[in-house]
Structure 1
């Protein structure tokens, strides 16, 4: 029998660390800095615009300096210094693309083509949604994890398995709910999304909720609740109390904030709180069906 050496154990731990951090597939011999590539493209575009403005400005100046010709007006195009695209511009673009989506399929296409969020360049997949888009209940988490990124579906890892058991306890399954995330791309190493990344992605999830038009919205975890309910309160204060999500068109949807399944895996004693929250959801769905 061959026993693993100390060196072998260290290698396994290192590979496990890389997998947890998101480094789970070697595509090239050397690492690729996606952020540097994105910045290089932005810088190249700015330099091209500056070069074109300079060329036009020099041509106009030469024309105006010809003998016998008086300068009638300032050059129509003046040289401009390169300016970094602000996050506000990406938020505005996301809002424009979201508003232009008349269906969920169109929204998915616009999100797949959107390049205003850096998370897209480090993720493997666009994790759009799972389940039935015509369901009465929609659940929204924060962002995909490693398993979700690999499969392109939300809540398919351990937290997803727990969510499936919770849904089954109130008589629901994946075909009777609609599931999505505020952030559709996995943050590297499962880190917390930045406020800028959340704001850039916000128009997409808000439009997704509006198009799905569920009767009840369930926010899973604090970040989802804070984003969709426009609040700064913690999830332990919010959970168990009905709130309202208001869409861009003014549609009001009852929302139940509850704990994220990943949090429940780390804190099993708090499953009783989530159970109470989902019983409230079950009762609300029943009352809506009877009305």
Structure 2
């Protein structure tokens, strides 16, 4: 009597890909090309998910405008990608770290090593959501390639019961996670080159989707002017130089003027831009930005809506 085979699992991410049965016999060039070609399916999956990603952004923005938090829940690769996205929001957009809360099955230890059984504990997922005091103002992004991870399902169920908006990213269609959330996002990447290794294109699709979700939300919240990262946190020499370039680019000011404005603004790029563009002091610029909800374009009186662009191809 034999046990279940790879073909018995209905989840495409766990399926056996018969195209790559000689993977271990390929030359280095052919091997690298195979992996590179397969990764293209990650982008195709994200492109197909644009409508559902848009719906998630539209649903989440209002809660964040009212002071809500982004909560990420995942296990293994999915959880680590959520941790990464949450962490990068602070230096990129000055998003308060307490408003980007990553929940990882097994805790911080699981960033570097597998924690046995952590992802199989739905109660732990629910408990972590309770411990984070997730409530109606928050947005939970639940990520699971399989769409069946108990920890993630427990977190999503508890967050939804608490009134939070729930977004779910899964790489398999028809999975429990997609049925358990308010905003389901299917990233249908199919079987992996290395069977079952969802750190490959499934993980790539998740990374792209998380980048899109959080970046689109930050743009909508006024963290970007044009396509300039005007709310970055200049925490090192590289970012300080970037902040100065951003001020000069947005205002056309000479270097000494840009430096002086940035210094007076306490390193806040958006404040320095408003100061220079409107010829006002830092305190006045801050007050005007506050009245416009932090949106530089509205503060500068540039409120005309840009037309939607026709998608390529």
TM-score by length of 1: 0.27
Q: Which has the larger radius of gyration?
A: 1
